[in-house]
Structure 1
Amino acid sequence: MTDTHSGASPKLVVLDMAGTTVADDGLVERAFVRAAERLGAEPDLDYVRRTMGESKISVFRALFGTEERAQRANTEFEHAYAELVDSGACAPLPGAAEAIAALREQGRTVALTTGFSRTTQDAILAALGWQDIADLTLSPADAGGRGRPYPDMVLTALLRTRAADSVREIAVAGDTAYDMLSGVRSGATVVAGVLTGAHDEKTLREAGATHVLDSVAALPALLAEF
C-alpha cells in the first residue's frame, strides 16, 4: 500500500510508540476508564479514540474543563497505565524492533516519540528493554509541552540529533491522524501511516499520509527506495 514518491532520502526517522512500534491492545482505553472511575467521571471513550496520538494532558483539558481536574485525571491515567505496564500488558509490535535496527543499519537516525509523559515513556522502554533501541526518545514535555498534532517533537528531534540538513530529509511514521498532521506540519518528505493502531487508512490519508503501510516492519524497505 505504498505510493509513488519523490524527494530526499530521509536521514531522520521519527516513530510513534503505542500503536506503531508498541502494541496498544486497548491499554490506553483501559487506563482512561480506570482514571475516569477514580475521579467519579463517566469515561468518554469516543473522544479518546478520536484524539489518539494527541498529548494526553491536552485530551484531559478538553474533557474535564478545569486545569485542576485535568491534572488530576492525567495523574490517575499515568498511574493506571503504569499499573498495566507493570502487570506485563506491554509488548512490541511484531517486527518493530527489527525495523528500528534495520533503519539504523541503513545509516538513519531514529527517534521514538509519544503522547505520554516522560515517566510513562521511560516505564514502557524499561518494560520492553528498549532503553538503547533508538538514538533519541521524546515526550511532549521534552519539546515544549504541546505534543501532537503540532510538529514540535519532530522538529526537536531534528534539532537535538542534527541528523539532517533539511526537514525534507525526515520521515515520520505513526498510527493516528495526529501523527500524520504532526509529520505534515513538520515538512517531512515521508509521512507514513501504519494500520496496527487506532486509525484506518481513510483517516490516515485524510490527515495527510503520503504512504500507508500494514505495519512499521515495512518502513525500512520503503525508505530504501528513496
Structure 2
Amino acid sequence: MMKIEGVLLDWAGTTVDFGCMAPVRAFMDSFAANGITVTEEETRKPMGMLKRDHIKTMLSMDRIAAQWQKRYGRSWEPQDIETIYSSFEPELLASLADYTKVKPGVLKTVTELRARGIKIGSTTGYTDTMMKIVAPTAAVQGYQPDCWFSPDATNGMGRPYPYMIFKNIMELKLSDVRCVIKAGDTVSDIAEGRAAGVWSVGIIDGSSVMALTEDAFRSLTEYEKNERREAVRHTFMNAGADYVITDITELPAVIQAIQQQ
C-alpha cells in the first residue's frame, strides 16, 4: 500500500484568492499600458507559470503577436517581456494584499491532513517578493504550509518544470515521488505535477480555469455550477490530471483512494 506523505498546494485559486483574480487584472492592464488589448481568456491560459514566462506565452499567441506587429511595426522581442513586466509587477504588488483571503475548506482540510501525519508544502507562480505579501496575510488567517518555494528558488525555472516540487520533497524529507500529491487550479499545476512524477490533482471550484469570483460563483444556480464544473473537469483531465475534485475538502478521499491501490 502506498502511503501519502506530503501534499503540495498552489496558492492563488487553490488556497487563497477564489477565482485567481489578482494576477488577471494586472496582466491585462500591463499589456494595455503598452498599447495591446488582451482578453481574460488569453490572460488565463498560461496561469500558474512564472510571471515572465506567462507574459512570453501571451506574446507568442497569434492574435497578440499580430497586434504587436501592427502597433510597433516589428515582432515582439525579449526585451519587450521586461517592458511589460515592469508595468505588471508594481500593479500586482499594489493590489495583492486585497486578494489573499483563504478559500473555504482550506483550514479544515489542512488540519485533517496534518492530523494524519501528512506534511503540507507548496509551489507558486508568484515571486518571493509577491509571496512576502501573500504568505504572512494567509498565516494571519490560519493557513501556513510547512514550506513554500517560488521560481526564485529554482533559478527562474517555474512551472511546468518540476523543480519547485523537488525542492519541497527535499525540504520535507519525503521518501518517494509516489508518496506526494500536487494539487492546483491551473493546467500549469497539472503539468508541473506530471513532470515531477507525483500525483496531480485539479481543484475545480474557485479555480483560474473556472474564472469566477466567489460572489459570481455563488450567484449561479446548481445547474449552472455543475455545467461549469464539468467544463473545468474536462480541461484538467485533458491536461493529464490523475484526479479532479470539486473542492479541497475532497483531498482526504483522494488520499484514501491512492492508498488503497
TM-score w.r.t. the length of structure 2 is 0.76
Cα deviation for residue 214 of structure 1 reads 0.7
Deviating more after overlay: 147-156 vs 40-49: 40-49
Maintained 8 Å contact 1:100/1:133: no
User: Which residue among 153, 169, 176 is the counterpart of 2:164?
Assistant: 153
- Counterparts of 1:1-226 in structure 2 under 5 Å? 8-25=2-19, 26-64=21-59, 65-86=76-97, 88-129=98-139, 133-162=144-173, 164-188=174-198, 190-196=199-205, 197-199=207-209, 200-225=232-257, 226=259
- Structure 1, unaligned runs of 5 or more: 1-6
Runs of 4 or more, structure 1, over 6 Å off, are none
Query: Which has the larger share of strand?
Result: 1
Q: For the structure 1 residues 31 and 216, does the alpha-carbon distance in structure 2 shift closer, same or farther, using more than 3 Å as the test? A: same
Maintained 8 Å contact 1:54/1:149: yes
TM-score w.r.t. the length of structure 1 is 0.87
Cα deviation for residue 218 of structure 1 reads 1.6
Cα deviation for residue 132 of structure 1 reads 7.0
Q: Alpha carbon RMSD of aligned pairs, Å? A: 2.0
CA distance in 2, matches of 1:208, 1:62: 20
- Structure 2, unaligned runs of 5 or more: 60-75, 210-231
What's the counterpart of residue 4 of structure 1? none
> Letter of the aligned partner of 2:151 in structure 1?
P
Larger Rg: 2
CA distance in 1, matches of 2:40, 2:254: 34
Write the deviation string for residues 93-135 of structure 1: whole angstroms up to 9, x where unpaired. 1011222222222111111211111111221112223597111
Cα deviation for residue 24 of structure 1 reads 4.0
Deviating more after overlay: 111-120 vs 88-97: 88-97
Deviating more after overlay: 52-61 vs 122-131: 122-131
> Letter of the aligned partner of 1:140 in structure 2?
P
Maintained 8 Å contact 1:84/1:90: no
Give the aligned length: 217
Maintained 8 Å contact 2:204/2:244: yes
> What's the % identity of the aligned pairs?
25
Query: Which has the larger share of helix?
Result: 2
